[in-house]
Amino acid sequence: MDPKGPSEGGRDSIWTVDVEQNKVRLMRIFVEREDPTSKEADDLMLRRFLRARDLDVEKASALFLRYLKWRRAAIPNGLISESEVQNQLAEKKMFMQGFDKKGRRIGLVFGGKHQSYKRDFEEFKRFVIYTLEKLCGSMQNGEEKFIAIGDLEGWGYSNCDIRAYIAALDIMQFVFVENKNLKSTLLEDIDESELPEIYGGKLPLIPIQDSTA
């Protein structure tokens, strides 16, 4: 749970904010000493890693340093260009769709458009990273989460790709809902103006490579 301001959460919330801020400072001192590139990370990113390890500075720092090492290996140029994932983008299976009622960015993936027999595994992993970078880069200031809707309509044997799914699910969360209550279920968290047209909303589908915000 995000800490509230003094007027909302009282003394417990003030204590939580102070504790997190102090731990972020301690974590920054440690990670910057171990890896100078850590200076590029803002406090919100460090706080995400702290919360993922229950505010344990040592464990959060170790996790964050592993993340930086992974990122340098996986994204040596600092970003994944569209030319590096053009075959995945051509399947038009990933879209970026507005925000839910809590301000979280919405991603929409069509499982039935993934063709396992065509995919190159390394390109698919780059595509997952590309997708996450686009989603995270478009989050509202201070937001730490996004929502991904997995649409399995038309999904069949040719779309089954366990190796690719494991690679993707290792870093992504999906929200699955039953079709019979699809619109009403989605509208619990997403305004109609932000809900894709195919689910009864008013927002046209936006391929992730065409999204600018």
- Mean pLDDT on 47-64: 90
How many of the other CB atoms lie within 10 Å of CB of 132? 17
- Mean pLDDT on 8-36: 79
- Mean pLDDT on 193-198: 86
Q: What is the pTM of this model?
A: 0.65
Which pair of structure tokens corresponds to residue 117? 């027999």
Strands 146-151, 105-110: parallel, antiparallel or unpaired by DSSP?
parallel
CB distance 149 to 175 below 8 Å: yes
Among 80, 105, 98, 104, smallest CA distance to 2 is for 104
Q: Is the pLDDT of residue 185 over 60?
A: yes
Distance CA 102, CA 131 (A): 21
Predicted confidence at residue 175, as pLDDT, reads 31
Mean pLDDT for all residues in the chain: 81
Q: Is the pLDDT of residue 34 over 50?
A: yes
Predicted confidence at residue 82, as pLDDT, reads 94
Instruction: Please state at what angle helix 57-74 crosses helix 6-34, rounded to 10 degrees.
Output: 60
Partnered with residue 96 across adjacent β-strands are 107
Instruction: Please state at what angle helix 6-34 crosses helix 43-52, rounded to 10 degrees.
Output: 100
Output the CA angle 187-48-167, nearest 5 degrees. Answer: 75
Q: Which domains does the chain have, with CATH numbers?
A: 6-74 (no CATH), 82-210 (3.40.525.10)
Instruction: Give every CB contact of residue 159 below 8 A, 6+ residues apart in sequence.
Output: 111, 112, 113, 114, 115, 116
Strand, helix or coil for residue 150: strand
pLDDT per residue as tens digits for the range 132-172: 888 888 887 777 778 888 888 888 888 888 888 777 766 54
Partnered with residue 105 across adjacent β-strands are 99, 146
